Chain A
Amino acid sequence: MTVTASPPLAPARSRWQRARDSDLMYSFLSSKLVMLAALMTVLMVGSAFLAPLIAPHDPYDLRSLNLLDSNTPPAWEAGGDPRFRLGTDDQGRDILSTILYGTRSSILIGIFSVLLAVSIGVSLGLWAGYAGGRVDSVIMRIADVQLTFPAILTALLIDGVAFAMFKSASAGPAKFWVLVVAIGLSYWVQYARTVRGVTLVERNKEYVQAARLIGIGPLRIMFQHVLPNVLSPVLVIATINLALAIITEATLSFLGVGLPATEPSLGTMIQIGNKYLFSGSWWMVAFPGVTLAALVLSVNLLGDWLRDALNPRLR
C-alpha cells in the first residue's frame, strides 16, 4: 500500500505561474539587495563552472607557464602585460584564470561537504527524533560534545590528521576528498538538532500514526513522510553552511593543510599572495581575496533571505 501525493488543487495553473505568484518570489522581487546577491552568486558560480571555456589560460597546463611571466602586475599598471589582465602569480599563472578555476574547486568542495553534512545530520536527526529513548540521548550527547568545539577547529583536526597520515599521497584529487570529508564531518550537528526537533513534533501527528497503522516500515516513514516536512529549515541551514564551508576550505588551504599549492583554490592563492605582500605585489592576494569575500557575502545574504522568507519562526 502506498500513500500517493494528492494532485495539485488547481491544475489549470502551470508550474511557472505558481512559482511566479508564490510568497517566495514576491519577497525575492521586493528586495534589491537579495536580487543583487543572487545575481552575483549566479555570475560567480556560472563563470567558475565555465572556467575551461572562458578562462584565457589553463593554470593546470604546466607547459603554458613561463617563469619569465611571473610577478606581472595587472594590465593597467606600469609593467603590466595585456595577456594577463589581472597580473600573474609567482609561478607565472594568470591570476584571472586561476581565480576562475580556484573558485570552481572552492565551490565544489563547499557543495560536496554540505551534501555530506546534510546526509549525516538529517539521517541522525531523523533517527534520533523518531526512535527516541536511548538512541536519541546518545546521538544528541555526541552532537552536544561536538558543538562545544568550533567547527573550524574540528575540520582542522580531522584534516590535519589525514594530512599527516597520507603525507606521501597528498596529490590533488585525494586532498580534495579529504577536505570534503573533514568539512562535512564538522558541520552535521546543526542539521541533526533541527531535524530532530521537527521530527519529535511530526512523529505524534496523525499522518505518521496512520502510516504506521497500515504497516509502513520506520525507514520509509522517516524518509518519505517525515523528511519532506523538515526540508525547508534544512535548506536554510545548508545555504548558510555553504558560505561557512567555503570559508573553512579557504582557511585550511591558506594554513597550508588544504589543497596543495599547485592546485588552484582561493585559499592557496591567498596563501601564495600573502608571501609577496611586502614586495608590493598586492594583486596576488587582492583579487582572490575580493572574490572570496564577494562569494561568501552573496551566499550569506541569500541564506539570510531564505531564512526570513521560508520560515519566520527560525529567527
Chain B
Amino acid sequence: MLAFAIRRLIEAAFVMLTVAVLAFLLFRFVGDPVNQLVGQDTTLEDRLRLRQQLGLDDPVWVQLGRFLWNAARLDFGISYQAKQPVMMMIADRLPATLELAIAAALFAILVGIPMGVYTGIHRDSWLSKLFLTVSLIGISLPTFLIGILLIYVFAVKLGWFSSFGRGDVVRIGGWTTGLLTASGLKALVLPAITLGLFQMTLVTRLVRSQMLEVLRTDFIKFARARGLSRGAINFGHALKNTLVPVITIIGLQVGAIIAFAIITETVFQWPGMGLMFIQAVQNADIPVMAAYLILVAFLFVAINFVVDLVYVRIDPRIRIFDKAG
C-alpha cells in the first residue's frame, strides 16, 4: 500500500512537472511579455528596463526555475488584460466555480440515485423506459446545446429562472456566495442542471445496473423470505451494496465537472474560472492561461491520486496493474 502510494506520488509529481514546463514554454515563447504589458508609446529604454526587471534576459534555465518556484508559491504573475495579479483573479472566481460544481454534483447524486433505484426495481415500467430514453438523449447531446435549450424554455419562454450571471452575491470573508439570496439561487438552477446532467445519467445507469445485479443475489431473496418490507430491502440492503462503484465514479467525475464548467459557464456567462479561461484564450492572456493549466492539472492529479488510494483501500482484491493496463 505504501509502496503503491509512493509510486503514484512520484508519477503525479512527474505529471505536474511536465505540465508546469509546458505552461512555462507557453508563457515564455508565445508572444512577447513586454509588448503585452506596455503601451505602444513606451520608449525603448523603458522596455529594456522592464525586460531586465522581469528577468527575461536571464538564461532560460534560470527563468524556468524561477517560474516553477513562483508557481509553487501560487504566484503566476500579472494578467496582461486585467493588469492585476492572476492569483487574485482566480481567488475571486474560484467560489463561483466551486458552488456551481457542488450544486451540479448534488443534482447528479440526488436525482440520479433515486432514478437508478427506480429503473432497477421496475425495469419494465414505461416510466423506466422514459427515464432511460431521456438519459440516452442527455448523453448524446452536447452540453452547450442542452444549456441553450434550458435557457430558451425556462428563462425566455417561461421566465422562471435567470439565464446569466450569478444574481446577487453575499461576501463572507474572502468568499462570495450566491446561495444566500433568492436571485442567486434562481441563477444557480439552470447552470447546475446543465452541468450535472451528464453525471446524473451516468449515476442513473450505474445504479440501475448494480441494482439489477444485487437484486438477483441470495441475500436479497433471503431478506424477502424473512418478510422485510420492500423499502427496507430496496434501500437498506440493495442500494447500500451498490454504492462503492457509485462513490468511485462520482469521485472521478469531479474533475470532469470542473472541465465541463468551462462550457456551462460560457453558456450562462457564469463568472467563474472557466469563463475566465475562455476570455484569457480569446485575449491571448498567457499568464492566466498558464495558471489555469497548472491549477486544473493539479486538481486532476490530486483527485486521481485520492481515488486510486480509496479504491485500493475499499477493495483490496483489485489488482492495481490490471486496472492501469
Contact B259 A285 (CB under 8 A): no
Could you tell me the distance in whole angstroms from the C-beta of B68 to the nearest C-beta in chain A?
A: 19
Given the interface contacts A153-B296, A255-B278, A282-B152, does A300 sit within 8 Å of B289 by beta carbon?
no
Contact B141 A277 (CB under 8 A): no
A148 sits at the interface (CB 8 A): yes
Contact B259 A150 (CB under 8 A): yes
A101 to B115, CA, bound (A): 41
Grouping DSSP codes into helix (H, G, I), strand (E, B) and loop, the B interface class, with mixed when no group exceeds half, is helix
A256 to B267, CA, bound (A): 11
A243 to B141, CA, bound (A): 10
A292 sits at the interface (CB 8 A): yes
Contact A247 B142 (CB under 8 A): yes
B262 sits at the interface (CB 8 A): yes
Given the interface contacts A160-B289, A277-B148, A292-B145, does A297 sit within 8 Å of B140 by beta carbon?
yes
Contact B259 A277 (CB under 8 A): no
Given the interface contacts A255-B262, A274-B267, does A148 sit within 8 Å of B145 by beta carbon?
no
Contact with A along B216-244 (1 / 0, CB 8 A): 00000000000000000000000000000
Contact A152 B259 (CB under 8 A): yes
A185 sits at the interface (CB 8 A): no
Could you tell me the distance in whole angstroms from the C-beta of A138 to the nearest C-beta in chain B?
A: 12
- Residues on A with C-beta less than 8 A from B297 are 149
- Residues on B with C-beta less than 8 A from A157 are 293
Interface-facing stretch out of A5-13, A43-51, A81-89, A161-169: A161-169
Contact A289 B148 (CB under 8 A): yes
B132 sits at the interface (CB 8 A): no
A300 to B140, CA, bound (A): 8
Contact B284 A293 (CB under 8 A): no
Total residues of chain B contacting the partner, CB 8 A: 40
Nearest B residue to A279 via CB reads B156
Given the interface contacts A270-B148, A277-B156, does A165 sit within 8 Å of B30 by beta carbon?
yes
A308 sits at the interface (CB 8 A): no
Contact with A along B151-181 (1 / 0, CB 8 A): 1100010000000000000000000000000
- Residues on A with C-beta less than 8 A from B260 are 150, 152
Contact B262 A277 (CB under 8 A): no
Contact with B along A144-160 (1 / 0, CB 8 A): 11001110110011001
Contact A293 B304 (CB under 8 A): no
A250 sits at the interface (CB 8 A): yes
Contact with A along B266-298 (1 / 0, CB 8 A): 110000000001100110101001000100110
Docked complex: A196-223 residues within 8 A CB-CB of B: none
A124 sits at the interface (CB 8 A): no
A257 sits at the interface (CB 8 A): yes
Contact A256 B282 (CB under 8 A): yes
- Residues on B with C-beta less than 8 A from A274 are 148, 267
- Residues on A with C-beta less than 8 A from B151 are 277
Given the interface contacts A150-B259, A274-B267, A282-B152, does A289 sit within 8 Å of B145 by beta carbon?
yes
B60 sits at the interface (CB 8 A): no
Docked complex: A250-301 residues within 8 A CB-CB of B: 250-251, 254-257, 270, 274, 277-278, 280, 282, 285, 289, 292-293, 296-297, 300
Contact with A along B292-320 (1 / 0, CB 8 A): 01001100110010000000000000000
A279 to B151, CA, bound (A): 13
Contact of B15 among A145, A150, A165 (CB under 8 A): A145
- Residues on A with C-beta less than 8 A from B143 are 251
Contact A293 B141 (CB under 8 A): yes
A140 sits at the interface (CB 8 A): yes
B256 sits at the interface (CB 8 A): yes
Nearest B residue to A161 via CB reads B26
A152 to B255, CA, bound (A): 12
A270 to B152, CA, bound (A): 13
- Residues on A with C-beta less than 8 A from B142 are 247, 250-251, 292, 296
A270 to B142, CA, bound (A): 12
Given the interface contacts A152-B260, A153-B296, does A270 sit within 8 Å of B266 by beta carbon?
no
Interface residue ranges, B against A (CB under 8 Å): 11, 15, 26, 30-31, 137, 140-145, 148-149, 151-152, 156, 255-256, 259-260, 262-263, 266-267, 277-278, 281-282, 284, 286, 289, 293, 296-297, 300-301, 304, 324-325
Could you show 25 A-B contacts with beta carbons less than 8 Å apart? A148-B301, A149-B259, A149-B297, A150-B256, A150-B260, A153-B259, A160-B281, A161-B26, A163-B284, A164-B284, A165-B31, A243-B140, A255-B144, A255-B262, A257-B281, A257-B282, A270-B144, A270-B145, A278-B156, A285-B148, A285-B152, A289-B145, A292-B142, A296-B142, A297-B137
